[in-house]
Structure formats: C-alpha cells, structure tokens
Copies of this chain bind each other. A is one copy, B any other.
Amino acid sequence: AAMAGWGWVRAVRGLLLDVSGVLYDSGADGGVPIAGSAEAVRRIKASGLKLQLCTNETQATRENFVRKLRAMGFDISVAEVTAPAPAACRLLKERGLRPHLLVHDDLVPEFAEVDKTNPNCVVLGDAAENFTYANLNEAFRLLIGMEKPVLIALGKGRYYKETDGLKLDVGAYMKALEYACDVQAEVVGKPAKRFFESALAELGVPPEQAIMIGDDIVNDVGGAQQCGMRALQVRTGKYRPSDENHPEVKPDAYVNNLAEAVDIILQQL
C-alpha cells in the first residue's frame, strides 16, 4: 500500500538532485551531510540510473564545490554538476555579452574565459560580503548607463539559512536593481526552464524519463514540473510543513529524505 501510486517510476532512467538541503545542510564550516545521502548517491550509481546534480550554488566554482562534496563522502565529479555560472558563460558567449560581475570572490574563476572589458551587461550572483553599498551603486550605474540594460541573475532565491542566521539571497538584490533600472532580469539557474533543459541534456535523458528531487517547492519542484519532469520534495533542508499547502505547486510525491526516495525508486525498477 505504501508503494501505491509509484508505478510511473518504472519509466525513469535518470535523476536530477538538488544539493543543499538534499545532500547536505549548510553549516558553520561548509556543511554537514544529511544521514543516508552519500550512500543513496552510491546506490543510484550502482543501479545504472543516470545522475546529475542541479544546483543554484554560486558561492564557489564547480571544482571547489565538488571538492567540498567529496570531502563529505559524496562520489561526485565536476561533470555531474549543473550550476548557474557555466550556464551563464554559455549565454554570454552566444550573445556577445561582456559582463560586469557582482558575484562572490570564489566564483570569479568560472568567468576566466569571458571578455569582461567595456561591460554591456551585469551578472549578479550571491555576492554575500561583496554586496556593499559601493558595489551595488557601481552595478546600478553601469546598468542605467547602458542603452539597453541587460541584467543576468544567477538564481532568484529570496533568502537562505546559515549557522549565523538567515541571509538575503541574490533574488532580493536582483529586485533592487530591477526596480532602480526599470528592467527585468534574466534568471540563469533554477527555476528557469532553460536551466533545467541544460541539466537534462547533461543527464542525457528526456524530461518524461527523469525525476527531480529537491527541498525547494518553487525552485526545484515547480521549476522541474514546468519542464515536463516529475518532481519529489524531500522533507529535509528548507522544507517546511506549510509547503504542503502551497497554492500553486504540488510535488508528485513527498519523501522524508533522499535515502527514502532512492529506496522507493529502486524497488520499482
């Protein structure tokens, strides 16, 4: 009976996993793995299912991010991570855009190959301590001075939790610049459809054969469903019971955590 309604899983060939709140919880010294998640990743790989991490992380390069995950016991390689910065680099290249970066210091190397002279757009990430009054005014002046201001936001999260408290996320600063310049930002990252499509392309599986597993009802679950995927919400990370009454988004199922999701999925295959 507990397995009722899971028949659709038989068609699944690949999983997209959110990272923070699914694999680990953010913490003082970088993070603490969620119980059973490292083992769950190993079991996914052993089963032959494809796996891709799909994250809005913009405080580190993928290399450093993967180093951190591996130190926590996750068997993950750089190619298995879809993140906003590389997606933004592709977009910049395609459209001949030269960014002014307002991002975290540790993310800057992701843009090493991009021409940043004489900027014709602003790329906004979770800049954290770099969100100073001077840096915000500088980004604003560049934007308002452009004939056609282009603002690219690496995600649009409202806030997130660290051990020393809640922090405003990139979305809040995006709204500030949008209002001041009367522009609409282009969001690269979840929940943008194009970002999920990149992740699926890297996963190598069409949307109807993939499941997204995340803790964020809007950015993970809603975004993936908009893309034609099924999506599970884990009751870890930023999950709150009130998510289960969300007015617009309803996950295909709830699971207590990633380990339970993998148990159920592997039983169906």
Binding site for B on A (CB under 8 A): 128-129, 131-133, 136-137, 140-141, 144, 158-159, 165-169, 171-173, 175-182
Q: Shortest beta-carbon distance, A10 to chain B, in Å?
A: 39
Cβ B140 vs Cβ A159 within 8 A: yes
The verdict on A171 contacting B180 (CB below 8 Å), with A131-B133, A132-B132, A140-B159 known, is: yes
Whether the Cβ atoms of A176 and B168 lie closer than 8 Å is: yes
12 contacts between A and B (CB under 8 A): A131-B133, A132-B132, A132-B133, A140-B166, A141-B165, A144-B159, A158-B179, A158-B180, A168-B176, A168-B180, A172-B177, A175-B179
Q: Answer whether A171 and B166 are a contact pair too, CB < 8 Å, given A133-B128, A133-B131.
A: no
A159 to chain B, nearest CB (A): 5
Which residues does chain B contribute within 8 Å of A173, judged by CB atoms?
Answer: 176
Nearest chain-B residue to A159 (Cβ)? B180
Pick from B128, B132, B144, B172: contact of A176, CB below 8 A: B172
Contact present for A136 and B131 (CB under 8 Å): yes
Q: Given that A158-B179, A180-B159 are contacting pairs, would A168 and B137 also be in contact in the complex, using a CB cutoff of 8 Å?
A: yes
- Inter-chain CA distance A144–B172, complex, in Å, is 13
CA distance A166 to B140 in the complex (A): 8
A132-B133, A137-B166, A137-B168 known; 7 new pairs, CB 8 Å cut-off, are A136-B168, A140-B166, A158-B179, A158-B182, A169-B180, A172-B177, A172-B180
Q: Are A178 and B180 in contact (CB under 8 A)?
A: no
* Shortest CB distance A175–B (Å): 4
Q: A140 to B131, alpha carbons, bound, how many Å?
A: 14
A25 to chain B, nearest CB (A): 19
Q: Which of A141, A158, A179 gathers most chain B CB within 10 Å?
A: A179
Q: Tell me the minimal C-beta distance from A163 to chain B in angstroms.
A: 13
CB proximity of A122 to chain B, nearest CB, Å? 13
Chain B residues, Cβ within 8 Å of A129: 133
Distance to closest chain B CB from A218 (angstroms): 12
Q: How far is the CA of A176 from the CA of B136 in the complex (A)?
A: 12
